[in-house]
Amino acid sequence: MLKILITDGIDKETMYNLRDMGYEVIEQFFEPDELKEKVKKFDILIVRSATKVKKEIIDSALETENLKMIIRGGVGMDNIDVSYAEAKGIKVRNTPKSSSQTVAELALGHMFTLARFIGIANVTMREGKWNKKYYEGIELFSKTLGIIGLGRIGQELAKKAYALGMKIIYTDVLGPNKVCFNYTFVSLDQLLADSDFISLHIPGNEKESPLIGETEFAKMKDGVYIINCARGNVIDEDALLNALNSGKLSGAGLDVFSEEPSKNLKLINHEKVSVTPHIGASTKEAQKRIGEEIISIIKENF
């Protein structure tokens, strides 16, 4: 019988379906030291973003040679040492098709929140303040949205923003997209200089320097808004705070942070920042699609 360990939670229907398929399924989070022992007993490990599957976890699993696959329920796999696992014969998969719509909607939600002071207006009204004259915002219509990374999520955001009348420019390491004719491919420097809103949709890499730091903020136009629903380490948080405090940025929408849960109180409490606790894929629809994709992966490989 195939043994499956789910450490960061999963759609309940998916778990029931896996059990109905005859698999032994355990759903429980374990701290790293305990996970090193537990993982030895399972054929498949399913994680989200909370569980870190690094070299020491993989080495422990290799002692029994039971672990055949690691599945990341979501897109980014920076919490898994993918190259090391695959070099040791353990397959690593993710569910890239499941949460594109959901993350794109959240990025757009942050854009609206910042442009129209929705977040801070909620706070001040509940404090008994009627700050109508303080909240003169801007329209998204006719503004330029610069998307860094035009993958699945970037494309979904572009569709939605284009429908709102925004001009879409983008940059991507793969070069111009051959099917996205309504959007303009530009260099990173040009995107930074021309965008009214910038949204990042690229993988994180703890071993590399942040893509956006002091140098990049200096290249942006004054009053720009930046959105990060990708990974926290793609933006230097100290540089971000400086840009907010200097007025270079009008606002930042953040779903991800360099440390999670974030302890950067100066950033998450900043009046120009809209924050959410890494909920990019947290909709009922996305969780169901993630579950369906996980089942499909297992069926294809076992």
Hey, which residues are catalytic here?
A: 231, 260, 278
Please give the distance of CA 193 from its chain centroid, rounded to a whole number: 24
Report which of 196, 240, 198, 200 is spatially closest to residue 221, judged by C-alpha positions. Answer: 196
Classify 197 as helix, strand or coil. Answer: strand
Number of residues in the chain: 302
Element (H, E) at 124: helix 118-126
Residue 88, phi then psi, degrees to nearest 5: -95, 10
Within 10 angstroms of residue 269's Cβ, the number of other Cβ atoms is 9
Closest by Cα among 114, 143, 101, 93 to 294: 93
d(Cα 172, Cα 165) in Å, to the nearest integer?
22
